[in-house]
Amino acid sequence: MSTTVWIILAGALVTYLTRIGGDLVLSRFERIHPRVEAALNAVPAAVLTTLVAPVATTGGIAETAALLVSGAIFLRGGGMMTGFVAGAVVLISLRNLL
């Protein structure tokens, strides 16, 4: 096998280890300290924010408008699909018009 294939398989192995690692460690404990629990509860908000905020600062008018429109719909409880499609429509139309 080529070096590339070995690198891919090793990369896949370490990736899989990260995907089971947290559970491997945590499942050994009977009770979880409230501080650890608070940390775990914050994970979705903390990680998802880092996937949105920096990218948002790199966008122009079309990107900002798309985030604002979909954000407003998400905020009013409009649902994932509605907000997502609306954002995509705003983004693609503004990119092609501006």
Handedness of CA 44, 49, 55, 59 (dihedral sign): positive
Both tokens of 56, joined, read 């948002």
What is the nearest approach in angstroms of other proteins to the Cβ of residue 13?
Answer: 8
What is the nearest approach in angstroms of other proteins to the Cβ of residue 53?
Answer: 4
For position 98 contacting other proteins by CB under 8 A, the verdict is: no
For the window 28-57, what string marks contact with other proteins as x by the rule CB under 8 A? ----x-xxxxxxxxxxxxxxxxxxxxxxxx
If phi > 0 it is left, if psi is from -120 to 50 it is alpha, else beta; for residue 15 that is alpha
What is the nearest approach in angstroms of other proteins to the Cβ of residue 24?
Answer: 8
Buried b or exposed e, range 52-62, using 16+ CB within 10 angstroms: eeeeeeeeeeb
Residues at the interface with other proteins (CB under 8 A): 2-12, 14-16, 18-27, 32, 34-57, 59, 63, 66-67, 70-71, 74-75, 80-81, 83-84, 87-88, 91-92, 95-96
